[in-house]
Amino acid sequence: MLKFLRNFFEIKFFGVSAWWGAKLGISPSFVRLFFIYSAFTNAITIFIYLIMVFVLRLRLALKFRRRKSVFDL
């Protein structure tokens, strides 16, 4: 059960850390630690992180959407 939860959170929430790490050229674990430590200081950081998760998932969903024909443009 614990392994299932860990895999679920890594897939769903840590994608943002990997994306930011790739964009900034730093390790994703550093980005995760930044969000964890900043979440202890203020609660708005958690909401910012969740908004970034939503935007990233929405962006990926729209990016890979396939069109059936040329006339769907």
Stated as kind and residue range, the H or E segment containing 66 is: none
Name the residue range of residue 38's domain.
17-64
Q: For residue 73, what are its two tokens?
A: 């443009």
What CA–CA distance (Å, rounded) separates 69 from 25? Answer: 38
For residue 11, being part of any structural domain is answered with no
In this predicted model, what pLDDT tens digit does every residue of 59-71 receive, in sequence order? 777 766 666 666 6
For residue 6, being part of any structural domain is answered with no
For residue 37, being part of any structural domain is answered with yes
What CA–CA distance (Å, rounded) separates 18 from 67? Answer: 28
Tally of domains within the chain: 1
In this predicted model, what pLDDT tens digit does every residue of 21-59 receive, in sequence order? 888 888 888 888 888 888 888 888 888 887 888 888 777
Q: For residue 15, what are its two tokens?
A: 């994608």
